[in-house]
Every structure is written in C-alpha cells, then in structure tokens.
Amino acid sequence: MKRIIVDYNKLTEDILNLLIEKYPDGYESEDIIAFKNSKNETIKAVEVRTEDTVYLVKVSKQLITTMESFEDDGDFENSIDDDYADSFE
C-alpha cells in the first residue's frame, strides 16, 4: 500500500471528497497523526484511504477553510484560495 503525504496546495478533488466523507463535521485533535519526515521535521496530518493508497493530508488552517467551502458549495476550484489556484492550472 502506498503512503503519500499531501500538502494543502496539492489537494485534488478526489482527496478532498475523501476528507469530507471521513470527517463531515471536521476533524478533531484525536484524528491528527504526528510524525517526522525525512528532514526530521514534525508533520501533523489526517489520514484518508483508498483501496491502494493511504493519504496523509497535512493539517493547516487553509485545509479547514477549503473543506468547509467545498462542502458548502461543492465547487472545487472556488474552494481553493486564489494564492493556490495556480497550482491546479
């Protein structure tokens, strides 16, 4: 099984849908996983899974805002802050 760390600015619509499905009311502190990356930096993330992949999505204020916005209007591109929208084009 693959394990992929995903930052807020690399979210796809599929991963965002998995997050909304698993955490419909948002995630709690007990849902957050803390670990060290290869640079020995502490990373905090929430986990979502598909059949063949475990995604560890880094926790940030932007992630919370994106999840709330996407859940409210269902529009992926408008859920992402303008600062990060260019990442998807």
Q: What is the pLDDT of residue 80?
A: 45
| 20-42 pLDDT tens trace | 899 988 888 899 999 888 899 88
SS3 category, 84 = helix
SS3 category, 87 = helix
Please give the Cα distance from 20 to 80 (Å, whole number): 15
Contact 35, 88 (CB under 8 A): no
Confidence of residue 6 (pLDDT cuts 50, 70, 90): very high
| 49-73 pLDDT tens trace | 999 999 999 987 677 677 777 666 6
* Cα atoms found within 13 Å of the Cα of residue 82, Cβ hemisphere only: 0
